[in-house]
Amino acid sequence: MMCYHLMLNAIWLETFTTLCETGHFTRAADRLNMTQPGVSQHLGKLEQQVGQALISRQGKSFTLTPAGDAVFALGLSRRDEETQLRDAIAADDPNSGSVHLACSGSFAMLLYPMLLPWMRAAPDLSCHLTATPQADILKGVLEGRFDLGVLGADPDHVRLEAWHLGREELCLVLPAGSATPMSFAELDARGFIAHPDGYRYADDLLRLNFPDAYPGADRLRLRGAVNQIGQIPAPVAAGVGYTLLPRSGVEAFKDKDRLRVGHLPRRRWHDLWLVARRGRRLSARVSRAREVIEDAARQLR
């Protein structure tokens, strides 16, 4: 009895399938660009692998044995599967399948509305955007959980490919119509609207501009704290305090006309890098997502 878990040699199987279709060794050899002895040799090796005769010879013609019928059916099925696979690879529809992206919370606010028109026009597309810390973005791309990630620095990793997207300014965010503070005391009097990344941003931008007066993020005068990225600028837009955000967080805020970016003497920029696993060809849909990400980054220049 033929073993159904047997992994048949694909070349011998194709030779046998062609032989069955043509019904003649010479015609099979011509179609396969082989010699007639070569066809006979493949048949003999396939019969050895199966452990049974596949044809019954009758002069120059032959008939299939029951095992031969089963192997011929398998050969036709394999061809169909390979045809379907080639069609699927060739199609590589940019509007079908899933794509997984990761970036910071502020960049996600800018990016997601730009993904929506594509999603609306492509009902077979499943787009997943994760706002997460930098370390998780890096780990997720390496593990294959994310197709693309946006980082704040070149990861310089042997298993990653990285493309420079541009720079994003770290902004002092004030209520519209207010003047940029000339001293740290004047800024501190307004009070800080804190958020999870805000203290790190303060140590970066405020220490750079007020090196003698800045006391450290833990000693800032607080007016409030928000942990929802989309709501961080809301108190400032209402005239309460100031905050610090990347430019993407300002641009994505729905009432940004009620905000003003105060330009301190020394401005601070962070690089933006797009990363993917090295050696992995980007599918059409991931390439399309890359274009949308690049468009979003251009808005920050």
Q: Domain for residue 2, yes or no?
A: no
CA–CA separation, 63 and 58 (whole Å): 8
H-helix or E-strand spanning residue 73: helix 66-91
Q: Domain for residue 1, yes or no?
A: no
Q: Kindly report, residue by residue over 103-132, the tens digit of the pLDDT.
A: 998 999 999 999 999 999 999 999 999 988
Do 161 and 276 have their domain in common? Answer: yes
Looking at residue 2, its pLDDT comes to 44
Do 173 and 235 have their domain in common? Answer: yes
Looking at residue 272, its pLDDT comes to 96
Confidence of residue 267 (pLDDT cuts 50, 70, 90): very high
Least confident of 12-21, 91-100, 108-117, 148-157: 91-100
Do 61 and 117 have their domain in common? Answer: no
47: Cβ contacts below 8 Å, ≥ 6 apart: 53, 54
What is the DSSP annotation of 112-139? HHHHHHHHHH-TTEEEEEEE--HHHHHH
What is the total count of domains within the chain?
3
| pTM for the model | 0.65
CA–CA separation, 231 and 165 (whole Å): 26
Joined together, the tokens standing for residue 240 give: 């309460």
Domain edge (last residue) among 35, 63, 91: 91
Looking at residue 161, its pLDDT comes to 94
Range of the domain at 176: 169-269
Looking at residue 230, its pLDDT comes to 86
